[in-house]
Chains A and B, each alone.
Chain A
Amino acid sequence: STVICVFEKDAIEIDEDLLSNSARSLETLVQVGMKLGVSTRKLSEIKL
């Protein structure tokens, strides 16, 4: 079974390690509660 999460465009900045493993077609073993990413809305506010 699988769960797929779809976010709206530019809504999340996913953690880089997860993205880079996936870009190598390598799955990452994770557990419930581990950090997935941060809202970009908040990030852009902080940057401003």
Chain B
Amino acid sequence: MGHGSSKEDSPSGSKEEGSSRISHLKQRLHLHRHHHGRSSGSSSYQKILAAGGFAGIALLTLIHAEMKFKDKWLACVSLGEQTFRTEISDHTDRPVWKSEKKLLLEKNGPHVARISVFETNRLSRNNLIGYCEIDLLEVIIRDGDSDFDVFDLLDPSSSDIVVGKIFLSCSVEDPIETEKRFARRILSIMDYNDDAKLSFSEFSDLINAFGNQLAADKKEELFKVADKNGDGIVCADELAALLAIQQEKEPLMNRCPVCGEILKVSDKLNTMVHLTLCFDEGTGNQVMTGGFLTDKQAAYGWMFKLSEWAHFSSYDIGINSGSSSSHILVFDRKTKRLVEELIDGKIVLSMRAIYQSKIGLGLMDKGAKELLQNISEKHGRRMNLAESAQDIPKFVEFFKDQIRLSEVKYPLEHFKTFNEFFIRELKPGARPIACMERDDVAICSADCRLMAFKSADDSLRFWVKGRKFSIQGLLGQDVYSNAFIDGALVIFRLAPQDYHRFHVPVSGTVEKFVNIPGCLYTVNPIAVNSKYCNVFTENKRVVSIISTADFGKVALVAIGATMVGSITFSKKEGEYVKKGDEFGYFSFGG
């Protein structure tokens, strides 16, 4: 298959072809076996060859295209049930994307990719201009000196008409490299101090997260096996070796911790490949955006991404349906524009692993709740150390478009720890209060992403998917009253970069504070939108009741989250508060 590739077809003849395929595949594989003397990778590689087929990760790069007119172009790659898209090019007839995507090629799985090129249009839908279908296995084994292949793009209304050419490359990753990369990825999840090594405590957390009780019971033994040089820490190479050895004997992971898919013990290479791809999704390691079911959907651009978030929020069909959620769209009330909220890939990865699958939440009952608590406490202690102040410039740089230092009350040098910076105060007047003289006008409590609903039912319909959510559950028995039934609900979600102090939305008297202990799940939409997780009714929180003349009683619930579990109030019971007054703040801790 493939339309008009610039290279000659492979010679036919089954035996010769098989041998030729293997030798070419060898050439295309970036073998480094002489650098790694381990047997597992070699045996995996032998397995590929012995099977005469290929199972592994192919790196597909859409380099550029030559079209017959100028426009802003995007390209999509569809393989099986997945579609990925490039960025939109400049206005040109020679669009350059250089977009790469790792694709899983299974022995009996799909290997014919459809590549579609669209002209983009701001006002209406993007138009499909040309397409081609390519057998990736053929591209991989095809002989040739060139680093790229060229394919004709066909007119979708008439396959006889060539409307352009696309230049792409497709290569195969060495299974040993796949294995090592996977070990590095998995290690980074529990590597709290980012030293690319696991202490015994970090190693224990990792084994716990795998959810394999047998392995959890013999963590010390496994640690000793992994720590080959006996230096008391496990590096990425040692972890890779352990995973390979264990995979041969008794796999540490029975299910993929990201998507929850059961891993076949008999198909070790596919297991490794599957895990690698799952762990890579959403981390920003890959250039092409995924999570689309069809190339048409992918071509809808901004508006589709918006609806993708809105309509796929229950994640019923697995986390990959929302794989572009490392960029959440929010509507900026000030500028009246949609903006993308960036989330660190590692955080997205962890959140998905935990919250978006039954198995992930199942892990919660096997010690992961305690793990979140421990991580938060550990992080809190770390953020209170003087060394943590070194992280402030990096943090400011990462969120440079969203943190306005000119609004901050003190200069950066003033903050002696990261936590001090995290709970930074703003200069007086930095946040004007709407209709200050009118107590019948309520204001927003925090710099945040806000959701507002007329009733709890509406919130369940549009946003909160936890099956056990209710106002009663949120407020707890001590402060709940019937007056709150069917009352309006406003959710102020603070992101890490936000000013972390919250203010009083209405003027009145603080009646009481009620502490409700609980977990420290994330409050990110990834968890709030999961039907398996009941963030708002299970997390640690403090409920305060403000008695007002204009709104009756108003309940304000401050909910702690992973890492940011410390809640401090700056007002006391019985105190009169004016709307806009600072009420308290969240900081790092458990």
Contacts and interface: CB of A to CB of B under 8 A. Distances in A.
Interface of A: 1-9, 11-12, 14-15, 17-19, 21-39, 41-42
Interface stretch (B91-99, B120-128, B151-159, B328-336): B328-336
Given A4-B474, A12-B551, A26 B444 contact: no
A23 B460 CA distance: 11
Tell which of A6, A8, A31, A41 has the most Cβ of chain B within 10 Å.
Answer: A6
A1 B431 contact: no
Contact of B489 (A5, A24, A29, A41): A5
A27 B474 CA distance: 20
A4 B491 contact: yes
B559 A28 contact: no
Interface in B447-484: 447-454, 458, 462-463, 471, 474-475, 483-484
Given A7-B488, A22-B463, A31 B444 contact: yes
Nearest to B434: A35
A36 B330 contact: no
B136 interface: no
A33 B448 contact: no
A39 B493 contact: no
B493 A2 contact: yes
B310 A26 contact: yes
6 A-B pairs with the lowest CB-CB distances in the bound complex, closest first: A27-B449, A25-B310, A1-B586, A42-B440, A35-B434, A39-B550
B267 to A, nearest CB: 38
Contacts of A31: 334, 431, 444, 447
B450 A6 contact: no
Contacts of B310: 24-26
Nearest to B337: A29
Given A1-B559, A28-B330, A8 B483 contact: yes
Contact of B503 (A17, A25, A29, A32): A32
28 contacts: A1-B523, A1-B560, A2-B492, A2-B493, A3-B557, A3-B559, A7-B487, A7-B488, A12-B551, A17-B333, A18-B490, A21-B331, A23-B462, A25-B310, A26-B309, A28-B330, A29-B339, A30-B449, A31-B444, A32-B445, A33-B433, A33-B503, A35-B443, A36-B444, A36-B452, A36-B490, A39-B550, A42-B550
B366 interface: no
B552 interface: yes
B306 interface: yes
Contacts of A35: 434-435, 441-444
Contacts of A19: 452-454
A26 B306 contact: yes
B441 to A, nearest CB: 5
Nearest to B456: A6
B378 interface: no
B499 A32 contact: yes
Contact of B485 (A5, A9, A21, A39): A9
B484 A27 contact: no
B313 interface: yes
B306 A22 contact: no
Interface in B554-584: 554-561, 564, 567, 580
Contacts of A4: 474, 489-492, 536, 556-557, 559
B474 A28 contact: no
Nearest to A4: B557
B54 interface: no
A12 to B, nearest CB: 5
Given A9-B484, A31-B431, 4 more contacts: A3-B556, A8-B554, A28-B330, A38-B441
Contacts of A14: 452, 454, 488, 490
A27 B451 contact: yes
B94 to A, nearest CB: 37
B486 interface: yes
A1 B494 contact: yes
A7 B491 CA distance: 12
B204 to A, nearest CB: 28
B564 to A, nearest CB: 5
A32 B444 contact: yes
A6 to B, nearest CB: 4
Given A3-B558, A33-B431, A27 B551 contact: no
B331 A26 contact: yes
B167 interface: no
Nearest to A42: B440
A7 B452 CA distance: 11
Contacts of B443: 32-36
A42 to B, nearest CB: 4
B554 A6 contact: yes
